[in-house]
Chain A
Amino acid sequence: MSAASLHLAVALDGAGWHPAAWRDPAALPKDLFTAAYWAGLVTEAEHGLLDFVTIEDSLALQSTRLEGPDGRVDQVRGRFDAALVASRIAPLTSRIGLVPTITTTHTEPFHVASALATLDYVSGGRAGWRAQVSGRSTEAAHFGRRDIPGLRLESLDDPETVRLIRELFDEAADAVEVVRRLWDSWEDDAVIRDVPTGRFIDRDRLHYIDFEGSRFSVKGPSIVPRPPQGQPLVTALAHARVPYEFAARSADVVYITPHDAEQARAIVEEVRGFGNDVLKIFADLVVYVGEDARERKARLDELDGADHASDAAIFTGTPGELADLILDWRRAGLDGFRLRPAVLPADLGAITRGLVPELQRRGVFRTAYEAATLRGHLGLPRPAGRYAGSR
């Protein structure tokens, strides 16, 4: 690992990660449902040479509750399909990775594979996926295809809930397996355009994936040729043992949520215990960046009527202090950080124009993009297709 190989991503969600972010004077609440807003955010992230952006999504309205809508209208409600936002931005950027969230619970793995392969084509090899499960009964009701009992915080340990969580992540692992097989189902040289024999493809270089699982079976091959990266990047957010195992088994990058360096070390050890040595481990951090970070947070907490609560640690401070924290935590074995800006675009700008120059001064972050693909930014090779040479 070279000194400059710290990886930085930014998680984009609505007006930012504080529930009242949209009411901050620096926010653009009327622009959230425009292409220009998202284009502005991603080009700013690219200006800061970040590895990638993630775009949050779910097939339900945002809610402060674990289960079901909360009826609140004083917070941002509603959002776009994240994969299409990523695609809309792709032609306007040239280097930054684009990682939309897509749920595995209610979607067709075949469509997910096609959409992400296509995103990889339109972005020239910059596509990724944050694979996410949904345990909400209200979200299942949007599809009417299956009953999910739903999750309640007070009963996360009861056997039914434990079984549901296990089932959702097993299904997610199956979905990722199908998607990865579909990406490989065309060999790289399948298109031959051989005029003498009249053949456009060599059909022996296309492969049925013949996946059979308890939730779905998928025949293949993909309708989309093998994408530029071979395998777009698969990522997952994980907070506990079952999702850690899923990430270690299925993902290229996992986001974890330690609240201090010690926890970071413990989680890294637990994740590595599943035996995936090449998995990149990023810590998530909610960030308020600037001289006035604490005051801004206090003001927003007052507007929202509650202290900002998050699964991830919350940082308030200057770019220098954030750089200190990142370098401290990094020693726990972290490959990078996914920063969740509290207010957009303000805290994103503070990352790209404050934190990044600070990290560059300290010699730990790139001063120019060195690769053209998302896998390239992370130092990951382009994988050979699993079916190549199986003829």
Chain B
Amino acid sequence: MKQVILAAHFPGVNNHTVWSDPASGSQIDFAAFAHLARTAERGKFDFFFLADGQRLREQRGRIHDLDVVGRPDALTVLAALAAVTDHLGLAATINATFNEPYEVARKLATLDHLSGGRAGWNIVTSSDAFTGENFRRGGFLDYSQRYERAEEFLRTARELWDSWAEEDLVADPVAGTFAAEGAGAFAHHGAQFDIGGHFTVPRSPQRYPLTIQAGDSEEGREFAASTADAIFSRHSTLEAGQAFYRDIKSRLAGHGRSPDSLKILPGVTFALGDTDAEAQENADHIRRQQVSPQTAILLLEQLWNRDLSSYDADGPLPAIDPDVSEDSIIKGRARMYRDPLKTAAEWRALAEAKRLGIRDLIIEVTGRQSFIGSPARVAEEINEFVQTDAADGFILVPHLTPAGLDGFVDKVVPLLQERGVFRAEYETNTLRGHLGLENDL
């Protein structure tokens, strides 16, 4: 039986994260991060995951104010979490566009040392000039070069990590030799980076921190298949998951890699209850919290690409069609609908058939929880996904900070352990070790 991989995503800056609940705490105090990380470690999770965004989101030219806003620098928080956890992997999303390999490689190697081999890196790129306004180079990267940049960035980082051989840190006071001759020397000449000199961090415990990739395009899939250790995917139904899984795993041989060397981890949400019926009630309650009347209008605007602020959230959908021009009203976030007119027609049909107003429709068509049920049902479904090759495990995204993972760890994890598909104790000390990828370099 395959073993399930589990990761915990700190609740994000979108409407999935419920801030209006009395149980919702700070999104920024360290105690919130420590609580969630310790909970994940208590549940023997593989790793803790932090997302990234280098400019606050805007809609219709104004800072988006309906969702949680504000988050920390990911690597800085993870370094602190390394002090309050012992085994949990610590993965940061780091943008390859607005960073340089020397600095990122240095920070990741430092985190890997400071955590005893638990660092992970979700490598993303962006090409938007909007985010670029916060950085020296502005929006310099062409959309078509995103994966060229990511691929060369990662390759350069690995060259830097290899610039200190394992035996280069000598530290022999009798011989008077601290480091080997030439330790840290590197040279990289490429289209994105033309750099050379000496790297400052000796070989870290994992050598290469775990690499995670999240893009779903053809290029993204090829990039992952060629070089990533894990994919943070978005295919959360069984059939879609299996199709994606087959596609990715079938690409690996072409890159000389084994099927086990790349783990597929869909991001998923959940709602629990003592019974399936109670879980469904909880799920419905959470969905209403996630979609306030204001958020309903805002999410509708994301499809319509128009100012709909004068519409009543309890009233009918707009009679006017979506604006399909190039100009997006949303900044700082990818566009989410490929064919807005078609989607709008589907939504109208659904609203009419079920007699739904805007808010109820949005609740129905966006963001339903991936797993809803009693702990037994959720454990069974998770295991089914893994055993039938729709996934190798999951990145769980709780809807509450900081206690959103407590119920899952207390009730679902023990059932997975009873089935023998999830570790009862940590057996290794590194993130690569947890995923069985330590010999894959």
Binding site for B on A (CB under 8 A): 22-23, 27, 29-30, 32-35, 39, 58-61, 69, 71, 73-81, 83-85, 87-92, 106-108, 110-111, 114-115, 117-119, 121-122, 124, 138-139, 141-145, 186, 191, 193, 195, 197-203, 206, 215-221, 223-225, 303
Contact = CB atoms under 8 A, between A and B. Distances in A.
Interface centre among A34, A74, A79, A198 (most CB of B within 10 A): A198
A339 B102 CA distance: 31
B183 A142 contact: no
Contact of B83 (A27, A33, A88, A195): A88
A141 B196 contact: yes
Nearest to B170: A73
B107 interface: yes
Contact of A78 (B63, B65, B194, B201): B201
A118 B113 contact: no
Contact of A61 (B82, B116, B184, B195): B184
A198 B73 CA distance: 26
13 contacts: A30-B171, A35-B116, A61-B200, A78-B164, A78-B201, A81-B110, A90-B30, A90-B80, A110-B134, A117-B72, A122-B30, A200-B66, A206-B63
B245 interface: no
A220 B19 CA distance: 24
A106 B100 contact: yes
B388 interface: no
Given A79-B201, A81-B106, A221-B56, 14 more contacts: A33-B201, A59-B102, A78-B164, A84-B79, A88-B114, A91-B30, A108-B136, A142-B197, A202-B65, A203-B63, A206-B69, A217-B133, A223-B56, A224-B70
A119 to B, nearest CB: 6
B106 A223 contact: no
Contacts of A79: 200-201
Nearest to B134: A110
Contacts of B75: 84, 115
A111 B136 CA distance: 11
Interface string B56-80: 1000001101111111110111011
A268 to B, nearest CB: 35
Nearest to A145: B100
Interface in B72-101: 72-73, 75-77, 79-80, 82-84, 98-100
A75 B171 CA distance: 9
B76 A84 contact: yes
A118 B77 contact: yes
Given A33-B202, A114-B72, A121 B30 contact: yes
A193 B18 CA distance: 11
B316 interface: no
A191 B70 contact: yes
Given A23-B176, A34-B113, A118 B195 contact: no
Nearest to B29: A121
B110 A60 contact: no
Contacts of A85: 79, 110, 114
B133 A83 contact: no
Greatest chain B CB density within 10 A among A84, A191, A206, A223 is at A84
Given A34-B113, A138-B197, A224-B28, A88 B80 contact: yes
A85 to B, nearest CB: 7
A329 B196 CA distance: 44
B34 A32 contact: no
The list of the 8 closest CB pairs from A to B, nearest first, reads: A198-B294, A219-B133, A87-B79, A118-B76, A122-B80, A118-B72, A198-B292, A114-B73
Contacts of B308: none
Contacts of A142: 102, 195-198
A77 B179 contact: yes
A124 B26 CA distance: 14
B246 to A, nearest CB: 38
Contact of A22 (B69, B173, B184): B173
Of the candidates B111, B197, B202, the one having the most CB atoms from chain A within 10 angstroms of its own CB is B197
B134 A200 contact: no
B176 A108 contact: no
Given A92-B83, A202-B65, A203-B63, A197 B294 contact: yes
Nearest to A193: B19
Contacts of B20: 193, 195
B114 A84 contact: yes
A115 B76 contact: yes
A33 B169 contact: yes
B337 interface: no
A23 B73 CA distance: 37
Contacts of A73: 170, 177-181, 183
A372 to B, nearest CB: 14
Contact of B53 (A111, A119, A223): A223
Contacts of A75: 178
B190 to A, nearest CB: 10
Nearest to B84: A91
B251 interface: no
Contacts of B79: 84-85, 87-88
Given A73-B181, A225-B70, A108 B135 contact: yes
A117 B263 CA distance: 34
Nearest to A90: B80
Contacts of B19: 193, 200
B414 interface: no
Given A23-B173, A78-B169, A60 B178 contact: no
A74 B19 CA distance: 56
A220 B79 CA distance: 25
Contact of B72 (A32, A111, A121, A200): A121
A39 B110 CA distance: 15
B370 interface: no
Given A23-B176, A74-B177, A143 B72 contact: no
A35 B83 contact: yes
A224 B176 contact: no
A201 to B, nearest CB: 5
A61 B199 CA distance: 7
Interface string B185-222: 00000000111111011100000000000000000000
A91 B80 contact: yes
Given A75-B178, A78-B164, A142-B197, A186 B202 contact: no
Interface string B12-46: 00000001100000001110001000000000000
A141 B80 CA distance: 31
A184 B384 CA distance: 50
A80 B113 contact: yes
